[in-house]
Structure formats: structure tokens, C-alpha cells
Amino acid sequence: MSAPRRLLLVNGPNLNLLGTREPEVYGTQTLADVERITADAASAHGFEVRAVQSNHEGVLIDAIHAAREDCAGIVINPGGLTHTSVALRDALSGVALPVAEIHISDVRARESFRHFSYVADVAVVHVIGEGVAGYATATDRLIAILTGQAEG
């Protein structure tokens, strides 16, 4: 049986507000734009994307658990859960799928509480501060690892 050619795209709390929430920080593109950008990047490599966004940690964890059944990897912007959720980190670690962590803004240049990521040590790709275009970068890099074109 061949490996699945699907990625799970996970967007955490408040990312449903993209396009209207702090446009000076996050830009004016929407969650629908993020999902399209990611799907287009994946499609260029013969992959498809299943997208989930929730403001509820348990919904995200359930989606991550389900991904082990039919996904090859995970692209995730955990939002504020980046800095607070051991449970989300443990879910990502527990499914043993390669993970790409993405942040629209440069979290390292923002408030000090944003400098730490619980996801960082389980991710093989990190894309920070490239805006919404970073989703394509993260997708491309993750697929390169999945297809053996790059090391993770």
C-alpha cells in the first residue's frame, strides 16, 4: 500500500478572523485564502489537503489524531495554543507524522510570551514571519521531506 498523498492543515484559535483581525500584523487575506494557498501548493506536488480550523483545542486534537489514518503530514498554525498547549504538542508527537509549523507574523519579534513554542521540538519545518505566503513555503518544504527530496 502506498503512502497517503494528503496533508492535514490545522489552524488554531482566532485564525478564522484572518482578514479582519489586526490586519497590520496578519494582513488582509482570509482563512479561505490560506486554505486555497495551501491546497494549491500541495496540488502542485500531487497532494491534497484536508483543512480544519477551530477555536477549541479538543477539536484540533481530534483532527490530529484522525490524521494518522489517512495523512502523510501536518501543516499547523497553532495560533495562541503555540505558547500554551502541551496537549496539542503531545497530540502532534503522538501521531508520529512529520509536522510543519507556520506563523504568519514573526513571533520572535513580538511580545516575549510569543517567543516560546511547544510545537517547535516536534516540527521538522518552521516558517515564521512570511505572512500568508508562508503556508505555501511550509507545504513545499514538508512535501520535499515526505518525498525524499529534502531531509527533515
The closest of 31, 35, 92 to 60, measured between CA atoms, is 92
SS (H, E, C) 19-75: CCCCHHHHCCCCHHHHHHHHHHHHHCCCCEEEEEECCCHHHHHHHHHHHHHHCCEEE
Name the catalytic one among 26, 65, 118, 126: 26
Q: Is 16 annotated as a binding residue?
A: no
Q: Is 45 a catalytic residue?
A: no
Q: Is 56 a catalytic residue?
A: no
Q: Is 54 annotated as a binding residue?
A: no
Q: Is 90 annotated as a binding residue?
A: yes
Name the catalytic one among 103, 118, 126, 135: 103
Q: Is 43 annotated as a binding residue?
A: no
Residue 137 C-beta-side C-alpha neighbours within 13 Å: 14
Q: Is 14 annotated as a binding residue?
A: no
Helices (H) and strands (E) in the chain, counts: 5, 5
Q: Is 117 annotated as a binding residue?
A: no
Catalytic positions are: 26, 103
- Binding-site residue ranges: 77, 83, 90, 104-105, 114
List, as residue ranges, the binding site for substrate.
77, 83, 90, 104-105, 114
